[in-house]
Homo-oligomer: A and B are copies of this chain.
Amino acid sequence: MTTQVVSSIEEMRTHVLLARRGGESVGLVPTMGALHKGHLELIRHAKDECGRTVVTLFVNPAQFNQPSDLDAYPRPFDADLEACSSAGVDWLFAPSAEEMYSEKPLTFVDVEGLSDGLCGPYRPGHFRAVATVCAKLFAAAPADRAYFGEKDYQQLAIIRRMVRDLNFPLEIVGVPTVREPDGLAMSSRNVRLSPAERQTAAVLYRALEAAQSSDQTASRVLVSIARHVIASEPLARVEYIEIVDRDTLAPVVTVDRECRLALAVWFGKVRLIDNIAIIPR
């Protein structure tokens, strides 16, 4: 099938509402394009559970902290459209920046608390921009369900909470991270790693697994285990490694309930994030 490209908010909304009025459920997969196997897994879940699927492709300028990161963000539109067609996506919603921000925006959605830790301090304004653009996308494509990867765990928790707090009528579905054979989490930023960095980056998953398989319960110790694994690779520069509550993302001293170990690590000019469940034995 051929995926239909839609660039107008009004037109996108009409497609979704007509499908739903016709009795079909609609699944939404928000992306910034450069689709990889992680996105395809989100699409697969959406297609399994919904009659129609929308992928949104919008590289949201507001959520980038550095212009260089925005400029370097890959934009392989033709390949993305082809991937959507092959995956049986009904609509690829690809609005221009002018369509999404026809005037300088004054309205912002903040999810307090959940945005404060982990990546928050290192990416000021990022989660505000993510929450705001997701609110806009949910209004433009009012689907039954929206699919987000667990790789961006803090984003997933924030969007879940926003939807609950604002009573938005859709379900947020978290999908487990898809990994390369060596364990590296799929990410659109992986293509920017040098061959040496790419090889080294697999250390992240080894670090997550080492902490997960430990029988220690002190966060300090578990973080130290992960940190030591990463320290074995001189190309890796740790930004943070933290253990937080699964839902509130509040720092945890002892793992006495299901938690999440999350980290951000730089390889050269590329910042990668990953996370894993830490479950008490």
Using a CB–CB cutoff of 8 Å, the interface residues on chain A facing chain B are: 9, 13, 21, 103, 105-114, 131-132, 135-136, 139-140, 142, 161-162, 164-169
Contacts and interface: CB of A to CB of B under 8 A. Distances in A.
15 contacts: A9-B167, A103-B164, A106-B111, A106-B114, A107-B112, A107-B161, A107-B162, A107-B166, A108-B109, A108-B112, A136-B166, A136-B167, A139-B167, A140-B167, A142-B169
A162 B12 CA distance: 20
A110 B111 contact: no
Nearest to A161: B106
Given A109-B110, A135-B166, A136-B165, 10 more contacts: A13-B169, A105-B165, A106-B111, A107-B109, A107-B110, A107-B131, A107-B162, A107-B165, A109-B109, A136-B166
A166 B110 CA distance: 13
A235 B112 CA distance: 42
| Interface residue SS majority, chain A | mixed
Contacts of A162: 107
Q: Oligomeric state, in number of copies?
A: 2
A113 B106 contact: yes
A261 B37 CA distance: 57
A109 B111 CA distance: 9
A131 B165 CA distance: 13
A275 B112 CA distance: 34
Contact of A108 (B110, B140, B167, B169): B110
A108 to B, nearest CB: 5
B139 A169 contact: yes
Contacts of A103: 164
Contacts of A135: 166
Contacts of A109: 107-110, 166
